């Protein structure tokens, strides 16, 4: 008993002591400088050891922490690109001065998206790639989206200068619905258009803190979509990244006929006090866009086709890939036969002509209808408020507006596209709660094919007894009767009937063009779309409450409001269609065998009102074979509900009508009482009825094994291999319905439809990737990767649109700081992808291999960063998708201030 | 030690490697033009006419302004070329070429040129004939697509254009083919109806056609069709004598029971009436049928119904053009316009046959289903007004025959 008492007394005294200490606030002030350059360093994290209290240095390198903890204290300083340091604080009388040393540390970065909890990238249980703000700063790419293409296993589709779509593990395309982009916690997909517009309307480059790329199936944590991967882009918190930053980039596109490129970025963030901080940002791009200039002849069969020889001058039925309006085509033999019945003395001659004489209307080239001037304005702002020390509330807004070009089943000119995302979020170490909405407005966006077809019709209708085709047929016949050959007669006939055709860029053309593009489809080419998305989601991490394992639960609710006034979807003006979706997930992680094995199991359940519920599990195992040698195994599943367009589209495209999978649309066109027939069965002459089948979500199950290790702190190795099986692929199929059910299957009596179907059978995909990153002397880092994706067991006649090269590789040599006072930085990267057969709704054909070099050299003095750079240094022109813009070199000079 | 010296050599090597590697981007694939077969240079149809035996034809082609077209290697024609002898035999000497107005020469020459390549091998052997438009537009103001047509045909080793024999193997030029023909191929200038009206020996046919048309709107009348450039007929035209004989018989058959009944009404016994009636009916029938006005006689309207007359008239018309050389050597049934009538699709039509001698068709017959014997085509292919076979008009060919064809 006597022994106990002093102990209790000591405890009480200690408590009293700490009570008094807590009652007394102290403020530690200090400044952080770069040990080599003696410049102030911002955004260095300063934590009081053993607590969760901390702050960041501001743009002048200064910091201040107010705490009730007693001296002496130890501060831990960490920052990207700097060695960690510990500093003892024994007195607060004088500001403390800390000098940090630059360093390159491989594999130390922390990623969140792999498990929704922070972990070292070296210990991620699934494949993940991370791009830090340092990497962005030192990259030669003109746009941070382009850097993603340097990661292993990534394919990039460029529809135009400002429209980049990254993808992993196949199925690349402008409107990729199998790859999610989540920007600051919000799905970046334009809800009505069904493609991510991150590079058009997303983060200002100066506000990007990091990008995390999850290749492979990731529905288990992120929900519908993400069958092939997820890209997560995080922004810079204004508490950490403060002050004024700006960057001006001036450049040219192309070496032959160069056009100017202007890009300006501004970010301003201020920490007003310990609780409140805000940021605002603006980015503006103005340039002459790359344009589609593939004038090869494309022979269409419904939604597929092939490249064939021929030009406008040499093929009467020419249909150029990036030439629009020439999709309108007819067999003039039937018109000639009508002429023959009126002029029987010519019938004998007409009979000697071939049965099929397809002639297309004269189209307009992309550069004749789309203004190359592209602009892109991104505005962003966020208010952050710490309600308590642990809970941070934020209100975030992103709004973007711009012109760009997109490749879907046709090329679309997006003019004055607007999209806003607004989010309210509460964040705690263990949980978050957020609600956001995406507000989309397609502006004056229009379908180039439909628009140009209607321009032709407005100038001279195709049909009718005085129509273009009848005039053409008469002119052709007259030329033949004057002795001209078939070839010359076609040429002469076209020049005769095209007399007076509106000349591109003329006032007459502009008047017709403006009239047509501003009328909604089908009377014009306008895509009227004001679809909205509303989302609420939350997550709770029970790690503080439950100790035997780490448990995480979360859930979300989504509502899409499809509003196209009947021009895109099967909605009506004033009564938009609502689609509700909800989902929830749980994840349990446990370390076993002295942390050698970490097992994680997650499961997610989602339900869309139009489809059956879906459960997607994921199991991962991480074996820490030795320090910094980790082997990962995972079984992941993912699924995708048919996109909003696949559910509800009701769009006449000029060749036929695209309809979604919901029964309401089949009923709208009486497709049950007046059945539809498979197009291929009509061609073969054995009409086969296609009954209504409810659409199902498509799904994928994927197995992956990977190994990541850091050898001698100098070499980072990452390899993976995966094997996936896809099921119930969502695809389209061409069918035809008789106008008059009593009539026959002649072309005049059928309407074409393209319906959504789940393809039968299972399709396998497999691949691998490997990367090495090695630190050389003097801060030089060389890195390289190679990866491969292969699709197998594709059913006959099924177009998978896999669009992935068998092999691709990247090689980069970079140095973030070298030379005198480490003022210089540079990087050179080379990217190569093998050629492959590209498939899409727009066009299919061989895509040649692509090889590009990006390079930059930068010079830093104080807070200024001068950079000279080039992407595609050798200006070697390429297209990374059929029908897409032809990309050349881009050369720029930039000046940046306070780029962190 | 300067910084650059500290740099490992590996990066420099890598850098050089990068530029080496990237130089392998190929040029973007471009649209490939479809190249039409190249045109040869010589001989052209124009140079073929340099042969001295074609000097009159060449002079005519030059006068018609068509030599440039025949010399154009990018155009394609078939030329039916009569040599000097053939033209002179057709009455077209060099003097005539010089004397005739250009318009006439253009018409004549244009009809010898068809704007497609018809080799001997591709000349059709089938019946009916196919129309091959020439470059001759008889009325450009009416339609730029109007063309007079020619009728190349082939039977065994013989070939013709219309009824003019092709007399030598074809000659191929880079821009077409040349067929040497035995005579000038004269373009028709009149409609069938004009011949029928003008020919004093076809008065009954004219009257019968008018009678057949009674009540029909002009556009769909037979007279209308016989003056329509779009029509394509063969008319077997019975002479007035043939009509007279047939009509006399028909009226007599119709009158006989009437006369017999009248006689019995006047007190004759049946036997007496039957004996006396022919003597009365025959002169009456002969008198009634003595002029083409027989078709206008209201008293006979019930006996010679318009519909019946129309049936008989259209039974003389084929919906295609058959020159005598196109007729088969063995009797063969061909359909007539009668088959277009309601319920008459299966009528066997008329049976036609031609006999060929060394100089062409020497005899030809056509037989109606209701005729005891076949009618003879009166072979005489000389031009109107004297000619009676292969008479060529804008919208058909006419053969005079010596019987009315009876469909039943």
CA-angle at A631, arms to A625 and A636, nearest 5°: 145
- pLDDT tens readout for residues A374-396: 999 999 999 999 998 889 999 99
pLDDT of residue A156 exceeding 50, the answer is yes
Residues of chain A with pLDDT > 90, as a percent, come to 40
Chain-chain contact of A311 with B21 (C-beta, under 8 angstroms): no
pLDDT at position B4, please? 44
Q: Residues 6 or more apart from A854 whose CB is under 8 A from it?
A: A139, A140, A141, A146, A827, A828, A829, A831, A869, A870, A871, A872, A873
For B258-274, what is the mean pLDDT? 88
Put simply, whether B36 touches A (Cβ < 8 Å) is: yes
Q: Which of B15, B69, B72 sits opposite A813 (nearest CB)?
A: B15
The single residue listed with the structure tokens 């993808």 is A167
CA of B31 vs chain A CAs: smallest distance (Å): 4
pLDDT, average across residues A630-659:
86
CB-based contact, B71 to chain A, within 8 Å: no
The closest alpha carbon to A476, from A363, A330, A321, belongs to A330
User: Can you count the helices (H) and strands (E) in chain A?
Assistant: 14, 55
Give the model confidence (pLDDT) of A399-426 as tens digits. Answer: 999 988 888 888 889 899 999 999 999 9
Q: Is pLDDT larger for residue A654 or for residue A687?
A: A687
Q: Among positive and negative, which fits the CA dihedral A818, A819, A820, A824?
A: negative
Q: Which residues of A touch B151 (CB under 8 A)?
A: none
Chain A CB within 8 Å of residue B9 CB:
no
Residue indicated by tokens 């789940």: A758
Please judge whether A853 and B3 are an interchain contact, meaning their C-beta atoms are less than 8 angstroms apart.
no
Predicted confidence band of residue B10 (pLDDT cuts 50, 70, 90)? low
Name residues whose C-beta falls within 8 Å of residue A684's C-beta, 6 or more positions apart in sequence: none
ipTM of the complex: 0.85
Q: Does B3 touch chain A (CB under 8 A)?
A: yes
d(CA A572, CA B295): 72
Residue A118 three-state SS:
coil
Pairwise CB contact (< 8 Å): A483 & B115: yes
pLDDT digits (tens, 9 = 90+) for A259-312: 999 999 999 999 998 899 999 999 999 999 899 999 999 987 665 678 999 999
Chosen from A306, A347, A483, A809 to mutate, greatest number of chain B CBs within 10 A: A483
Please tell me the predicted confidence (pLDDT) of residue A5.
Answer: 44
Task: Look at residue A12 and tell me whether its pLDDT is greater than 60.
Answer: no
How far, CA to CA in Å, does A291 sit from each of A373, A667, A769, B61, B352?
Answer: 10, 41, 33, 55, 71
pLDDT, one tens digit per residue, over B189-225 is 999 999 999 999 999 999 999 999 987 787 779 999 9
Written as six digits, the tokens of B220 are: 């769909």
Alpha helices in A563-714, H assignment, sequence order: 644-648, 663-668, 679-684
Distance in angstroms (rounded) separating the CA atoms of residues A251 and A263: 9
Which residue matches tokens 């008993």?
A: A1
Cβ contact, residue pair A314, B133, below 8 Å: no
Highest mean pLDDT among A719-733, B110-124, B211-225, B295-309: B110-124
- In the numeric block, which tokens belong to residue B100? 């005739």
Is-contact A281 A379, C-beta < 8 A? Answer: yes
Asked if residues A39 and A76 have their Cβ atoms less than 8 Å apart, the reply is: no
Question: What does the longest C-alpha to C-alpha distance in chain A come to?
Answer: 133
Q: How many CB pairs under 8 A join A and B?
A: 165
CB-neighbour burial class of residue A868 (10 A; exposed 0-12, middle 13-18, buried 19+)? middle
B residues 231..290 contacting A (CB < 8 A): 231-232
**A830: nearest CB among B18, B76, B133:** B18
Other CB atoms within 10 Å distance of the CB of residue A548:
7
- Taking CB atoms and an 8 Å limit, are A482 and B135 in contact across chains? yes
* A102 DSSP 8-state letter: B
Please name the residues between 367 and 406 in chain B that touch chain A, using a CB distance below 8 Å: none
- The pLDDT score that the predictor gives to residue B19 is 55
Distance from CA of A795 to the nearest CA of B (A): 29
Average pLDDT over residues A362-370: 94
Let me know if A303 is exposed, middle or buried by CB neighbors in 10 A (0-12, 13-18, 19+). Answer: buried
Residue of B nearest to A832 (CA): B22
Q: What pLDDT is recorded for position B14?
A: 57
Measured at the CA of B337, the angle between CA B331 and CA B341, to 5 degrees, comes to: 120
Residues of B in contact with A849 (CB under 8 A): 24-26
pLDDT score of A83 more than 60: yes
* Dihedral (Cα; B231, B232, B234, B235), 10-degree rounding: 10
Of A343, A782, A853, the CB nearest to B230: A343
> In chain A, what residues touch B22 (CB-CB under 8 Å)?
830, 851-853, 873-874, 876
**Residue A8 in this model has a pLDDT that exceeds 70:** no
- Token digits of residue A395: 């209100």
pLDDT computed for residue A6 by the predictor:
45
Average pLDDT over residues A713-729: 91
Task: Give contacts of B 106-125 with A, CB under 8 A.
Answer: 115-116
Q: pLDDT at position A2, please?
A: 44
Q: Distance (Å) from the C-alpha of residue B1 to the closest C-alpha of chain A? A: 11
Cross-chain CB nearest to A830 (options B11, B21, B29):
B21
pLDDT attached to residue A304: 67
- Closest Cα in chain A, distance from residue B77 (Å): 6
- pLDDT score recorded for residue B21: 54
pLDDT in tens, A326-353: 988 899 999 999 999 888 889 889 998 9
Query: How much of chain A, in percent, has pLDDT values that exceed 70?
Result: 96
- Comparing CB atoms, the residue among A488, A780, A853 nearest residue B8 is A780
pLDDT at site B79: 96
pLDDT in tens, B156-196: 889 999 999 999 989 999 999 999 999 999 999 999 999 99
Tell me what pLDDT residue B9 has: 58
Integer Cα distance of A775 and B3 in angstroms:
16
SS3 content of chain B, % helix, strand, coil (to 5): 40, 20, 45
The Cα angle at residue A359 between residues A358 and A365, in degrees rounded to 5? 130
Q: Choose from A33-47, A134-148, A483-497, A764-778 the range with maximum mean pLDDT.
A: A483-497
Q: Residue B333, class by beta-carbon neighbours within 10 Å (0-12 exposed, 13-18 middle, 19+ buried)?
A: middle
Question: How much is the mean pLDDT over chain B?
Answer: 89
pLDDT at A9: 44
Q: Between chains, do A778 and B7 touch, taking CB under 8 Å as contact?
A: yes
- Amino acid A1: pLDDT: 40
Distance from CA of A839 to the nearest CA of B (A): 17
Total Cβ atoms within 10 A of residue A46: 23
| Token output for B390 | 């292969």
Over residues B85-89, mean pLDDT: 95
> Minimal Cα distance from B396: which residue of A?
A345
Are residues A345 and B147, on separate chains, in Cβ contact within 8 Å? yes
Q: Are A844 and A301 in contact (CB under 8 A)?
A: no
What's the CA gap between A393 and B266, in Å, rounded? 131
Taking 90 as the threshold, does the pLDDT of residue B5 lie above it?
no
In this prediction, residue A13 has a pLDDT band, given cuts at 50, 70 and 90, of very low
Residue range B345-400, pLDDT digits in tens: 999 999 999 999 887 899 999 999 999 999 999 999 888 888 999 999 999 999 99
CA distance B248 to chain A (A): 39
CB contact under 8 A, B147 and A481: yes
Q: What is the pLDDT of residues A544-587, one digit of tens each?
A: 888 888 899 999 999 999 998 888 888 888 889 999 999 999 98
A528-to-A411, A417, A525, A562 alpha-carbon distances in Å:
16, 11, 9, 11
Residue A332: its H or E element:
helix A332-342
φ, ψ (nearest 5 deg) of residue B259 = -60, -45
Tell me which residue in B7, B69, B132 faces A780 most closely, judged by beta carbons.
Answer: B7
Is residue A92 within 8 A of residue A30, CB to CB? The reply is no
Average pLDDT over residues A523-528: 86
Residue B182's H or E segment, with its range, is: none
Q: What average pLDDT does this structure show over A637-654?
A: 85
Range in A244-248, A607-611, B335-339, B374-378 the model is least confident about: A607-611
Please answer whether residues A749 and A740 qualify as being in contact, where contact means their C-beta atoms are separated by less than 8 angstroms. yes
Rounded Cα distance, B291 and A545, in Å: 127
Q: Which residues of A touch B29 (CB under 8 A)?
A: 294, 296, 846, 848
Query: Is the model more confident about A540 or about A177?
Result: A540
Cross-strand pairs, A270:
A278
Determine contact: B33 vs chain A, CB below 8 A. yes
Classify burial at A195, counting beta carbons within 10 Å of its beta carbon; exposed 0-12, middle 13-18, buried 19 or more.
buried
Question: Given A818, A828, A850, which is nearest B18 (Cβ)?
Answer: A828
Q: Give the distance from residue A148's alpha carbon to the nearest chain B alpha carbon, in angstroms.
A: 19
Best mutation target, B16, B34, B225, to test chain A (most A CBs within 10 A) = B34
Integer angstrom CA distances of residue B349 from A629, B364, B370: 99, 17, 11
Residues A769 and A707 sit within 8 Å (Cβ to Cβ): no
Greater confidence, B174 or A72? Answer: B174
Examine the pLDDT at A220 and tell me if it is beyond 80: no
Which residue of chain A comes nearest to B33, CA vs CA? A310
Strand partners, A384: A277, A394
pLDDT band per the 50, 70, 90 thresholds, residue A807? very high
Inter-CA distances, A188 with A160, A231, A252, A634, Å: 18, 10, 29, 27
Length, in residues, of chain B: 408
- Lowest-confidence pick of A675-689, A703-717, A850-864: A675-689
User: pLDDT tier at A592 (50, 70, 90 boundaries)?
Assistant: confident
Is the Cβ–Cβ distance between A351 and A343 less than 8 Å? no
Distance CA B111, CA B119 (A): 17
Q: Whole-angstrom Cα distance, residue B219 to residue B232?
A: 16
What residues contact B396, with CB distance under 8 A and at least 6 apart? B192, B226, B231, B232, B233, B234, B235, B321
Give the pLDDT confidence score for residue A164 in this predicted structure.
86
Q: Cβ separation of A296 and B25 shorter than 8 Å?
A: no
Instruction: Measure CA of the first residue to CA of the last residue in chain A; give whole Å.
Output: 61
Residues of chain A with C-beta less than 8 angstroms from the C-beta of B21 = 830, 832, 851
Query: What is the structure's pLDDT at A36?
Result: 75
Q: Mind giving me the DSSP string for A597-618?
A: EEEEEEEEEEEETTEEEEEEEE
Contact between A411 and A449 under an 8 Å Cβ cutoff? The reply is: yes
Give CA A499 to chain center in angstroms.
Answer: 44
Cα–Cα distance for residue pair A872/A672, rounded to 1 Å: 54
pLDDT above 90 coverage of chain B, percent: 63
Pairing of strands B396-401, B233-238: parallel
**Number of neighbouring beta carbons within 10 Å of residue A187:** 24
Chain A contacts of B148, Cβ < 8 Å?
345
Chain B residues near residue A344 by CB distance under 8 angstroms: 131, 230-232
Q: Which of A351, A482, A830 shows the shortest C-beta gap to B115?
A: A482
Decide if B11 and A782 are in contact by the 8 Å CB cutoff: yes
């Amino acid at each position: 008993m006597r022994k106990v008492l002093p102990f209790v007394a000591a405890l009480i005294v200690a408590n009293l002591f700490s009570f008094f200490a807590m009652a007394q606030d102290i403020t530690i002030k200090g400044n952080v400088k770069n040990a080599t350059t003696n410049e102030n360093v911002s955004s260095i994290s300063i934590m009081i050891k053993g607590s969760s209290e901390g702050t960041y240095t501001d743009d002048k390198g200064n910091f201040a922490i107010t705490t009730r903890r007693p001296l002496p204290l130890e501060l831990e300083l960490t920052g990207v690109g700097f060695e960690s340091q510990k500093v003892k604080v024994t007195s607060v009388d004088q500001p403390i001065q800390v000098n940090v040393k630059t360093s390159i540390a491989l594999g130390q970065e922390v990623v969140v998206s792999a498990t929704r909890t922070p972990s070292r990238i070296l210990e991620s249980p699934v494949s993940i790639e991370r791009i830090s703000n340092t990497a962005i700063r030192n990259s030669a790419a003109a746009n941070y989206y382009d850097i993603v293409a340097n990661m292993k296993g990534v394919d990039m589709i460029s529809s135009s200068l400002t429209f980049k779509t990254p993808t992993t593990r196949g199925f690349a395309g402008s409107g990729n619905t199998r790859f999610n982009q989540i920007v600051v916690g919000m799905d970046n997909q334009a809800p009505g258009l069904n493609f991510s517009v991150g590079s058009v309307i997303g983060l200002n480059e100066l506000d990007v803190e990091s990008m995390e790329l999850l290749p492979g199936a990731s529905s288990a944590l992120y929900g519908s979509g993400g069958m092939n991967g997820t890209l997560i882009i995080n922004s810079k918190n204004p508490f950490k990244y403060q002050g004024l930053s700006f960057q001006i980039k001036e450049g040219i596109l192309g070496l032959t006929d160069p056009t100017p490129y202007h890009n300006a970025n501004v970010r301003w963030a201020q920490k007003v006090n310990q609780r409140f901080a805000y940021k605002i940002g603006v980015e503006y791009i103005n340039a002459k866009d790359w344009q589609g200039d593939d004038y090869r002849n494309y022979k269409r069969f419904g939604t597929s086709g092939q490249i064939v020889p021929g030009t406008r001058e040499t093929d009467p039925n020419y249909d150029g890939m990036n030439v629009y309006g020439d999709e309108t085509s007819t067999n003039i033999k039937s018109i000639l036969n009508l002429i023959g019945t009126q002029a029987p003395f010519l019938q004998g001659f007409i009979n000697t002509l071939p049965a099929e004489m397809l002639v297309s209307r004269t189209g307009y080239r992309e550069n004749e209808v789309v203004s190359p001037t592209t602009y892109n304005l991104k505005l962003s702002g966020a208010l952050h408020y710490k309600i308590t020390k642990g809970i941070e509330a934020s209100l975030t807004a992103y709004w973007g507006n711009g012109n760009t070009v997109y490749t879907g089943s046709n090329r679309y000119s997006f003019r004055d596209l607007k999209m806003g995302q607004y989010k309210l979020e509460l964040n705690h170490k263990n949980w978050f709660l957020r609600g956001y909405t995406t507000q989309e407005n397609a502006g004056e966006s229009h379908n180039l094919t439909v628009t140009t077809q209607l321009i032709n019709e407005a100038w001279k209708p195709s049909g009718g007894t005085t129509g273009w085709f009848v005039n053409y047929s008469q002119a052709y016949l007259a030329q033949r009767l004057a002795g001209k050959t078939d070839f010359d007669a076609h040429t002469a006939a076209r020049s005769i009937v095209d007399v007076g055709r509106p000349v591109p860029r003329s006032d007459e053309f502009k008047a017709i063009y403006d009239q047509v593009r501003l009328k909604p489809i089908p009377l014009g080419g306008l895509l009227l779309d004001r679809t909205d998305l509303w989302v609420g989601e939350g997550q709770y991490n029970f790690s503080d409450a439950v100790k035997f394992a780490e448990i995480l639960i979360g859930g979300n609710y989504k509502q899409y409001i499809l509003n196209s006034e009947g021009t895109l979807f099967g909605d009506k003006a004033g009564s938009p269609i609502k689609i509700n979706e909800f989902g929830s997930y749980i994840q349990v992680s446990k370390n076993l065998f002295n942390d050698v094995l970490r097992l994680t199991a997650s499961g997610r359940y989602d339900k869309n009102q139009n489809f059956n519920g879906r459960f997607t599990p994921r199991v991962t195992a991480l074996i820490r074979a030795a320090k910094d040698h980790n082997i990962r195994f995972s079984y992941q599943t993912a699924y995708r509900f048919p996109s909003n367009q696949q559910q509800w589209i009701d769009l006449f495209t000029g060749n036929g009508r695209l309809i979604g999978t919901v029964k309401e649309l089949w009923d709208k066109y009486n497709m049950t009482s007046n059945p539809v027939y498979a197009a291929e069965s009509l061609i073969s002459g054995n009409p086969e009825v296609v009954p209504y089948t409810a659409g199902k979500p498509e799904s994928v199950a994927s197995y992956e094994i990977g190994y990541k290790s850091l050898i001698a702190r100098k070499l980072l190795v990452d390899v993976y291999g995966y094997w996936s099986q896809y099921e119930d692929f969502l695809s389209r199929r061409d069918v035809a319905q008789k106008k008059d059910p009593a009539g026959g299957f002649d072309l005049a009596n059928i309407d074409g439809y393209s319906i959504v179907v789940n393809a039968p059978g299972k399709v396998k995909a497999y691949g691998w990737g490997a990367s090495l990153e090695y630190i050389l002397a003097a801060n030089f880092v060389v890195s390289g990767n190679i990866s491969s994706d292969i699709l197998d067991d594709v059913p006959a006649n099924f177009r998978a649109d896999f669009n992935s090269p068998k092999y691709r590789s990247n090689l980069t040599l970079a140095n973030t700081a070298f030379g005198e006072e480490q003022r210089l930085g540079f990087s050179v990267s080379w990217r190569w992808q093998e050629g492959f057969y590209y498939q899409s709704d727009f066009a299919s054909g061989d895509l040649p291999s692509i090889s590009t070099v990006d390079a930059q050299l930068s010079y830093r003095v104080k807070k200024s960063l001068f950079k000279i750079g080039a992407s595609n240094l050798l200006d070697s022109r390429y297209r990374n998708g059929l029908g897409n813009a032809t990309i050349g070199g881009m050369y720029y000079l930039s000046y940046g201030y306070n780029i962190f | 030690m300067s910084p650059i010296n500290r740099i490992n050599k590996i990066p420099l090597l890598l850098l050089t490697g990068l530029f080496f590697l990237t130089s392998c981007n190929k040029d973007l694939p471009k649209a490939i033009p479809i190249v039409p077969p190249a045109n040869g240079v010589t001989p052209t149809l124009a140079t073929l006419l340099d042969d001295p035996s074609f000097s009159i034809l060449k002079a005519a082609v030059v006068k018609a302004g068509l030599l440039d077209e025949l010399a154009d290697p990018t155009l394609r024609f078939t030329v039916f070329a009569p040599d000097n002898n053939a033209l002179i035999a057709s009455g077209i000497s060099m003097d005539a070429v010089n004397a005739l107005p250009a318009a006439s020469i253009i018409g004549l020459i244009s009809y010898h040129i068809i704007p497609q390549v018809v080799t001997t091998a591709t000349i059709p052997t089938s019946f009916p004939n196919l129309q091959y438009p020439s470059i001759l537009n008889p009325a450009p103001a009416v339609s730029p697509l109007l063309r007079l047509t020619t009728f190349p045909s082939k039977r065994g080793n013989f070939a013709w254009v219309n009824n003019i024999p092709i007399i030598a193997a074809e000659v191929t030029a880079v821009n077409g083919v040349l067929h040497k023909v035995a005579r000038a191929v004269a373009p028709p200038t009149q409609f069938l109806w004009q011949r029928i009206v003008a020919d004093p020996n076809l008065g009954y046919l004219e009257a019968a056609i008018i009678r057949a048309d009674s009540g029909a709107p002009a556009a769909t009348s037979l007279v209308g069709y016989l003056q329509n450039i779009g029509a394509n007929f063969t008319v077997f035209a019975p002479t007035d004598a043939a009509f007279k004989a047939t009509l006399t018989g028909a009226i007599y058959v119709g009158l006989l029971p009437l006369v017999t009944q009248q006689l019995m009404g006047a007190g004759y016994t049946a036997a007496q009436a039957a004996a006396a009636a022919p003597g009365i009916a025959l002169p009456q029938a002969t008198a009634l049928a003595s002029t083409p006005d027989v078709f206008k006689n209201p008293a006979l309207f019930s006996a010679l119904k318009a519909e019946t007359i129309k049936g008989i008239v259209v039974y003389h018309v084929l919906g295609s053009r058959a020159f005598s050389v196109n007729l088969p050597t063995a009797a063969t049934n061909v359909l007539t316009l009668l088959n277009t009538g309601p319920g008459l699709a299966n009528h066997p039509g008329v049976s036609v046959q031609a006999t060929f001698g060394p100089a062409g068709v020497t005899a030809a017959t056509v037989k109606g289903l209701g005729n005891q014997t076949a009618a003879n085509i009166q072979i005489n292919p000389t031009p109107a007004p004297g000619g009676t076979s292969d008479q060529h008009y804008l919208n058909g060919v006419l053969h005079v025959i010596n019987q009315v064809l009876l469909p039943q």
